[in-house]
Structure 1
Amino acid sequence: MKIGLYFGTFNPIHIGHLIIANHLAEYSDLDQVWMVVTPHNPHKQKHTLLDDYQRLHMVHLATEEYGKIKPSDIEFKLPQPNYTVNTLVHLKEKFPANEFALIMGEDNINSLHKWKNYEYIIENHDVYVYPRLKSGNIDPQFVNHSKIHWVDAPVIELSSTFIRESIKNKKNIIPMLPAKVWEYVEHNLFYRK
């Protein structure tokens, strides 16, 4: 099975995340997409970041009706701070029959060379890159790389930061969140301050 790993804080998960994940699950050679919830770095003060398990719960709520999209807490169990290469090695040991690929926005591809052991990552794992409006010039080493796949997914310019700010400012953001995520956020009064 070929699994795409879509990393994020998902604070909160929104329809943009789901549109990209579903597009890759339906229109690429990936069998599943795992939404990998990135844990809170204990060394960073991040007042707006909800608890790891609250964010994971929102991902569960958002993906329960998608057969090919699964929530993952795999990084919760790894030593922090964690690096993507460590997650990939851990997953390969835990699920040796599966092939793992990375999913990232075009705006992130230019920083890939700064990742720990990025050469190992792109030698051993496919990378699926979805378009973003603000991406700049692409590093030439990644343009025609055999392991990097440019995906013609919808361009979604919606951010969790915008959603949190909108909630704080009492704006109606119901269309931006899956219904069950909105109910959970509203019930718990998240992002109000």
Structure 2
Amino acid sequence: MKIGLYFGTFNPIHVGHLIIANHMAEHADLDQVWMVVTPHNPLKKKNTLLDDYHRLQMVHLATEDFPKIKPSDIEFKLSQPNYTVNTLVHLQEKYPNYEFSLIMGEDNLKSLRKWKNYEAILENHEIYVYPRLEAKDQPGEAVSSEVANLELRNHPKIHMIDAPVVEISATFIRENIKKGKNVQPLLPANVWEYIDHNNFYKK
């Protein structure tokens, strides 16, 4: 079975995440997409990040009607701070008959060379990339970044997927809940009900 891993804090999960996950499940050569909820890094300030299990529960609620999309808490069990390469090794040991791939936005592809053991990731796993609005380079970085990005885009393990460009921000959602604005169209209905019932993001 071929599994695409879509990592995120999902704070909260919103319709943009679901559009990407569903597009990958239906249009890339993947059997399932696992939405891997990233746990709070104890070395970082918590800020507005909800408890790990509340975010996982929202992913459960959001994906219950999508049989090809599954929530995953696999990183909750790994020591922190964690790296993607460690998660991949752990998953491959736990599910030796599954083939794991990564799903990422084009903005993350630009920084892939900065990831721990990125060469090992590319050697052993395919990467499915969805388009994002252009992230701005720092002055002087544009040319070298573009060359590196072009090399990666042409890598045999990297697949550029013509998914919809969805620019819905979880930060925008949190900020507008705090302001008392209506954000219901941006969230699955049961996720909105969970947030509203628990008074999340209002402070």
TM-score range (shorter-chain normalised) is over 0.9
* SS of equivalent to 2:200: coil
Matched, 1:32 2:36: no
- Structure 2 distance, partners of 1:38, 1:60, is 14
Which one is further off, 141-150 or 67-76?
Answer: 141-150
Question: CA shift at 1:141, angstroms?
Answer: 2.2
1:9 corresponds to which residue?
Answer: 9
**Inter-partner Cα distance in structure 1 for 2:14 and 2:135:** 21
Deviations 1:64-91 (A, max 9, x none): 0000000000000001000000000000
Deviations 1:24-79 (A, max 9, x none): 00011000000000000011112200000000000000000000000000000001
TM-score, normalised relative to structure 1: 0.98
Question: Who is 1:158 aligned against?
Answer: 168
Report the counterpart of residue 45 of structure 2 in structure 1. 45
For 1:111-122, what aligned pairs fall within 5 Å after superposition?
111-122=111-122
1:145 and 2:155 are equivalent in the alignment: yes
Name the CA distance, whole Å, in 1 between partners of 2:81 and 2:190.
Answer: 31
For 2:193, the equivalent position in structure 1 comes to 183
Residues 84-110 of structure 1: CA deviation (Å, up to 9, x unaligned)? 000000000000000000000011101
SS at match of 2:46: coil
Partner SS state of residue 20, structure 1: helix
Please give the alpha-carbon distance, in whole angstroms, between the structure 1 residues aligned to 2:6 and 2:55. 14
Matched letter for residue 150 of structure 1: M
Counterparts of 2:105 and 2:75, CA distance in 1: 20
Structure 1 stretches lacking a partner, 5+ long: none
Q: Show structure 1 runs of 4+ deviating over 6 A.
A: none
Say yes or no: does 1:174 pair with 2:184. Answer: yes
Q: In structure 2, what is the Cα distance between the partners aligned to 1:140 and 1:150?
A: 11
Q: Any gaps of 5 or more consecutive residues in structure 2? A: 137-145
Residue aligning to 2:65: 65
Counterpart CA distance in 1 for 2:110 and 2:90 is: 25
- What whole-Å deviation, never above 9, does each CA across 1:148-189 have from its counterpart, x for those lacking one? 000000000001001001101111100000000000000000
User: Quick one: distance in 2 between partners of 1:18 and 1:143?
Assistant: 24
SS of aligned partner of 1:139: helix
| Identity of matched residues, % | 73
Aligned-pair Cα RMSD in Å: 0.9
Equivalences for residues 70-149 of structure 1 within 5 A: 70-135=70-135, 137=146, 139-149=149-159
Deviations for 1:95-148, whole angstroms, at most 9, x for unmatched residues? 000000000001110100000000000111000000011245462320210000
Q: Partner letter of residue 142 of structure 1?
A: L
**Aligned-partner Cα distance in 2 for 1:111–1:189:** 36
Count of residue correspondences: 193
Q: TM-score, normalised by structure 2?
A: 0.93
Distance 1:88 1:21 in 2: 19
The one-letter code sitting in structure 1 at the alignment partner of 2:39 is: P
